[in-house]
Amino acid sequence: MKTRQDQWNAKLYDDSHSFVSMYGESMIQLLAPRPGERILDVGCGTGDLASTLSNDSIEVIGIDKSENMIKQARDKYPNLSFFPCDATDMDFSNEFNAVFSNAALHWIKPPEKALTCIYKSLKKNGRFVAEFGGKGNVQSLTDAFFELLIQYGYEENLQYNPWYFPSISEYTTLMEDTGFTVKLAQLFERPTPLTGEDGIKKWMTMFATDLFTGIDEAIKTEMLNKLEDKLRDNLYKDGNWILDYRRIRVIGVKES
């Protein structure tokens, strides 16, 4: 298995995919942060939600595996604390009242290891509040692109699939096996508009870099054009690309 390098484009993320943070703002209401709390933002990206969470009475620490994202977060919010860290390698212990994560856990493998680190980082009665891609997330796009990989002779690139989109039963079982008491688990549709006529191409450039490993730029361009052709009838409506997002929301509590 190839080791994922830091290929995140933090500027493209902020310029064309700010909807990630925008949708995450409703998660803050679910988190319901309280004065005096210390909160860990796992997969903080470029720091927007950590900034929204933080105030004089709430301390927020943001971590992200991508050093590019962390640099952007530090540049945008120099008064906050951001650190490059893989969620499966965290060594926090009983330090946080809450762990918050938006649109990140579907990138983090193995999920069991991430959950163990999250659980360990929480204080007793601490809560874990997260939203991420669930079973069936962007399935129209992935099905079409995986077909193209096979068609073009790059079937081996399927092993570089960077995502983990679990069912509710799968993920809540992992949470309970880790020690969490599951208080909430939801799976729901969230059709998500992309920015611009080239929204699909930008999305793939931002989020699917690993799948293009070893593919020449000219072939990559041809494949992206064909991907648009495959998806246009179902996902292009009234001049906009609408991607078939499906999300999981969970709340777990560390009761002991």
pLDDT of residue 26: 83
Residue 37 lies in a domain: yes
Closest CA to 183 of 254, 103, 122: 254
In which domain, by residue range, is 94 found?
10-253
Q: For residue range 74-99, what is the model confidence (pLDDT) as tens digits?
A: 999 999 999 999 999 999 999 999 99
Q: Over the chain, what is the mean pLDDT?
A: 91
Residue 4 lies in a domain: no
Q: Residue 119 belongs to a domain with what CATH number? A: 3.40.50.150
Q: For residue range 203-225, what is the model confidence (pLDDT) as tens digits?
A: 999 999 999 999 999 999 999 99
Q: For residue range 103-113, what is the model confidence (pLDDT) as tens digits?
A: 999 999 999 99
pTM summary value:
0.89
Residue 133 lies in a domain: yes
* Percent of residues, the chain, with pLDDT higher than 90: 86
Confidence check: pLDDT of 195 > 50: yes
Residue 90 lies in a domain: yes
Residue 230 lies in a domain: yes
Q: How far apart are CA 202 and CA 52, in angstroms?
A: 26
pLDDT of residue 25: 75
Cis ω on the peptide bond leading into residue 193 (within 30° of 0)? Answer: no
Residue 3 lies in a domain: no
pLDDT of residue 17: 42
Question: In the structure encoding, which two tokens stand for residue 214, read together?
Answer: 């070893």
Q: How far apart are CA 4 and CA 10, in angstroms?
A: 16
Q: How far apart are CA 14 and CA 52, in angstroms?
A: 16
Closest CA to 243 of 193, 199, 207: 193
Domain count, the chain: 1
- Split at pLDDT 50, 70, 90, the class of 5 is low
Closest CA to 46 of 18, 23, 25, 26: 18
Residue 229 lies in a domain: yes
Confidence check: pLDDT of 67 > 60: yes
Q: Which residue has the tokens 């008064």?
A: 79
pLDDT of residue 256: 87
* Percent of residues, the chain, with pLDDT higher than 70: 91
Residue 5 lies in a domain: no
